[in-house]
Amino acid sequence: MEIIFKKSVQDRKGVSLPALDVPTMISVEKKYGRTRDADLCELSELDVVRHFTALSRCNFGVDTNFYPLGSCTMKYNPKVCEKIAQLEGFCSLHPLLPQLRRGGMLTQGALAVLYELERVLCEISGMDAFTLQPMAGAHGELTGMMLVAAYHRDRGNVRTEVLIPDEAHGTNPSSAAIAGYRVRSVPTNRETGVIDLAVLETMIGPQTAAIMMTNPNTLGIFNSQIGKIAECAHRHDALLYYDGANLNAVVGKFRPGDADFDVVHINLHKTFGTPHGGGGPGAGPVGVKKKLEEFLPISRIVKRPDNTYSLNYGYPKSIGYIAPFYGNFGVCLKAYAYILLLGHDGLAEVSDNAVLNANYVMARLKRSFDVPFDRTCMHECVISAARQAKNGVNALDIAKRLIDLGFHPPTVYFPLIVKEALMIEPTETESKETLDAFVAAMEAIAVEARENPSLLHDSPVSTPVGRLDEVKAARDMDFAFA
């Protein structure tokens, strides 16, 4: 498919304006004028319509195909949540309104949504207070680490290090480093797939500010020693941080607050009903225990004795502003709608099905692929193409071949501790028929990897563009068409 500029034909137009029959009123000083043509493409309306319609048909998403991109939770989200977010009363609000004189009374509905969402997130996570402001998961992590720093500063603790398991999402060490901490990596036990308490005990000390945990972790395995890990952290006055990236596996089953986590972030967009991808929009609310509440970002939404809502800026120990206004309101609204739609039992069932689907896929793929941590997984499973790699077919080749067969590839080469990793997250919204079709495609690829490896090296062959040169893309970055 050609880019639109290549379709340009000199003097072709999409509109015909009548000749100017009045004097020109605006004169532009020469120094502000263009020195050369704007190089816009010249096309008819039909050219433009066909071009963009053709582009839209190339789009690939949950609405068109199965999308088991591990760790990203690309599940189907009910369209009714979108409808709710489009309600005029919500989407026409100006974010400055609550700060204007008497403007707060005109935004009571939106403030009520935020206030109530904070309450239900407290209930879901077992925490005492929330801020909804962080705009994404990593932003939530940074906010959480800033809260950790504020806590230690307030107590006069000098802490320099954050401990993070080696399978963690890369954002964990990044967030801790941006917040000013040195990161130390805790090794995963090769047998159990989780970190060992005994190893942690040798690494923790008076220098440790926090331990960042994702539970279940990126191998899709739940660390059942978490109570003891929390006890170990608190013995050293270190805080325990819960990365909620995988909360969708345990909603209604396990509350981080009950396991003595001190700070939690939740990816509303992954867990609660917002379609995402392509970088957003997201929301990464942060929940804390009582001892950290005074440090939460401002403003905070409070309920007055007369049951109206307002914004409160009066928290002298707050870490301050971390986002403009109140976060991604639309994402918060959709999450609130999703949570109310499903209720406690419905959310628990979401987790049940997410876990069941992942285990089903893992069990069926065991015959054709290696499973490095062969135990019951949670919402995602990690398989390895190590067996196929011996025949010159890597995880990347398998991923590319899946595109030809109509599936979005799983995450590849993550977590880093698994060779030739393929990380599959089917999500709860897929039917058994879809999962069976995916397994059949994977099995067919395993056969091809044995019998016709060159076919896999050339894939995808059915797409508008074939195998992309990822090396060139990374080494010679050039984003502009010229």
Partner 1 sequence: MAIVPTPADRKYTTTHEWVKVDAGLAIVGISYHAQKALGDITFIELPAIGKKVGKGESCSVIESVKAASDIYAPVSGDIAETNTLLDAKPEEINKDPYGSAWLFKITNFNGADLAGLMDGAAYDAFAESDK
Q: Which residues bind partner 1 (CB under 8 A)?
A: 170, 386, 412-414, 416, 419, 470-471, 474-475
Contact 112, 125 (CB under 8 A): no
- What SS3 state is found at 281? coil
Residue 182 or residue 344: which is nearer to partner 1 going by CB? 182
Both tokens of 119, joined, read: 């309450």
Structure tokens, 401 = 């071949």
The CB-of-414 to partner 1 minimum distance in angstroms stands at 8
Residue number with CB closer to partner 1 (86 or 391)? 391
Q: Please state the closest distance from residue 326 (CB atom) to partner 1, in A.
A: 34
Compare residues 66 and 414 and give the one whose CB is closer to partner 1. 414
Of 95 and 170, nearer to partner 1 (C-beta) is 170
We find the least distance from the C-beta atom of residue 416 to partner 1, in angstroms, to be 5
Q: Determine the distance from the C-alpha atom of residue 326 to the mean position of all C-alpha atoms in its chain, rounded to a whole number.
A: 19
Residue (291 or 472) nearer to partner 1, CB:
472
What is the token pair recorded at 237? 């006055």
CB nearer to partner 1: pick between 295 and 373: 373
Q: How far is the CB of 388 from partner 1 (least distance, A)?
A: 14
Burial class (CB in 10 A: 0-12, 13-18, 19+), 476: exposed
Torsion sign over Cα 341, 344, 349, 355: positive
Instruction: Find the shortest distance in angstroms from Cβ 354 to partner 1.
Output: 26
Pairing, β 286-288 against β 300-303: unpaired
Phi then psi for 254, rounded to 5 degrees? -140, 135
Terminal alpha carbon distance of the chain? 17
Please give the Cα distance from 45 to 24 (Å, whole number). 27
Pairwise CA distance, residues 265 & 141, whole Å: 7
Q: Based on CB atoms, which residue is closest to partner 1, 158 or 477?
A: 477
Phi, psi of 184 (to 5 degrees): -120, 135
Q: How far is the CB of 465 from partner 1 (least distance, A)?
A: 17
- How many other C-beta atoms can be found within 10 angstroms of the C-beta atom of residue 263? 27
State in angstroms the smallest separation of the CB of 231 from partner 1. 29
> For partner 1, which is the closer residue by CB, 12 or 182?
182
Min CB(372)–partner 1 separation in Å: 12
Tokens of 331: 């994402």
Residue closer to partner 1, measured from CB, 184 or 236 = 184
Instruction: Check: CB of residue 59 under 8 Å from CB of residue 322.
Output: no
Q: How far is the CB of 337 from partner 1 (least distance, A)?
A: 38
DSSP letter string, 26-66: ----GGGS-SS--------HHHHHHHHHHHHHT--STTTS-
Q: Is the dihedral of CA 71, 259, 221, 141 positive or negative?
A: positive
Gap between the Cα atoms of 459 and 305, Å rounded: 64
